[in-house]
Amino acid sequence: MTKAQFQVFPSPEAVAGAVASHIGGVVRTRPQTVLGLATGKTFVPIYEALVRLSGETGLSFAEASSFNLDEYVGLAPDHPASFRRYMEDNFFRHVDLPAERALLPEAGGDAEAACLAYEAAIAARGGIDVQLLGIGRNGHIGFNEPGSAFDGRTQVARLTPSTIAANTSDFPAGELPPPEAITMGIGTILDAREIVLVATGAAKAEALTRAFVALPDRDCPASALQQHAHVTVFCDEAAFAGMGRPA
């Protein structure tokens, strides 16, 4: 049985406000917080709410650090669909988090070396305090697709056809997502002291049920989170709809 706590809200906007205020509280309490960040459609309103909170309350990230979960292999940082660009546009550019401490995997050169360097950089900061996660319809977290080992470290991962299909709309017309990405491994994610998983919309209901109602299974990477002692799931009613039913 999962130890995860669930916070259920009527709408994605309400989820965004609650996640922003939770993260704001963490950073206010410990200004040197090491954040693990995620990208994707789910997080657009969350960064918007966090930027608004920072503007309205003076919440500062000046002493914080961040490590994003993943980045496509081979995309230039300023490519419109790179996760670096997403983070600059949605968050980094609007807050006072120092650029040298706002890191994503370096997916442009020697990818294997970049994976090791990323693990070392996280360790050198003392590990991740709070890791934000979305969830794929197939249960992926980061780019850890079904079948990934629960003790995996930062690595080069191959995207499944369903993830490529889900992310194609982020790319300019006629362009497909790269087939590979660097992602924190599930073991890296589980090392975070706290995990906040966010799921909104009916399309995530089945994945949430498989992750938290069924027994942990490598076919659903998010089910590894059942092993973690401090997980909070922030979701809307549509994503929560299947919970309580057998997966």
Confirm or reject binding of residue 134 to ligand F6R (CB under 6 A). yes
Rounded to the nearest whole angstrom, what is the least distance from the CB of residue 144 to ligand F6R in the complex?
Answer: 8
Residue 145 annotated to the active site: yes
First to last CA, the chain: 13
What is residue 132's three-state secondary structure?
A: strand
Would you say 38 or 107 has its CB closer to ligand F6R? 38
* Integer angstrom CA distances of residue 21 from 78, 120, 134, 208: 30, 30, 17, 23
φ/ψ bin of 120: left (φ > 0), alpha (ψ from -120 to 50), beta (otherwise): alpha
Confirm or reject binding of residue 70 to ligand F6R (CB under 6 A). yes
Greatest distance between any 2 Cα atoms in the chain? 46
Q: Choose, from 90, 138, 144, 167, the residue flagged as catalytic.
A: 138
* Strands 155-158 and 70-72, sheet pairing: unpaired
Window 143-182: residues binding ligand F6R (CB under 6 A): none
Confirm or reject binding of residue 142 to ligand F6R (CB under 6 A). yes
Confirm or reject binding of residue 242 to ligand F6R (CB under 6 A). no
H/E element, 9: strand 5-9
Residue 72 near residue 82, CB atoms below 8 Å? yes
Output the 3-class SS for 158-219: ECCHHHHHHHHHHCCCCCCCCCEEEECCHHHHHCCCEEEEEECCHHHHHHHHHHHCCCCECC
Rounded to the nearest whole angstrom, what is the least distance from the CB of residue 58 to ligand F6R in the complex?
Answer: 28
Confirm or reject binding of residue 140 to ligand F6R (CB under 6 A). yes
- Taking CB under 6 A as the binding criterion, the range among 11-19, 51-59, 93-101, 128-136 that sits at the site for ligand F6R is 128-136
Q: Choose, from 106, 119, 145, 236, the residue flagged as catalytic.
A: 145
- Taking CB under 6 A as the binding criterion, the range among 48-56, 91-99, 103-111, 131-139 that sits at the site for ligand F6R is 131-139
Confirm or reject binding of residue 136 to ligand F6R (CB under 6 A). yes
Q: Which positions from 12 to 51 touch ligand F6R by CB under 6 A, shown as an x/- string?
A: --------------------------xxxxx---------
Residue 140 annotated to the active site: yes
Residue 237 near residue 9, CB atoms below 8 Å? yes
Residue 138 annotated to the active site: yes
Rounded to whole angstroms, the Cα distance separating 183 from 135 reads 14
Would you say 41 or 52 has its CB closer to ligand F6R? 41
Q: Which residues are catalytic?
A: 70, 138, 140, 145
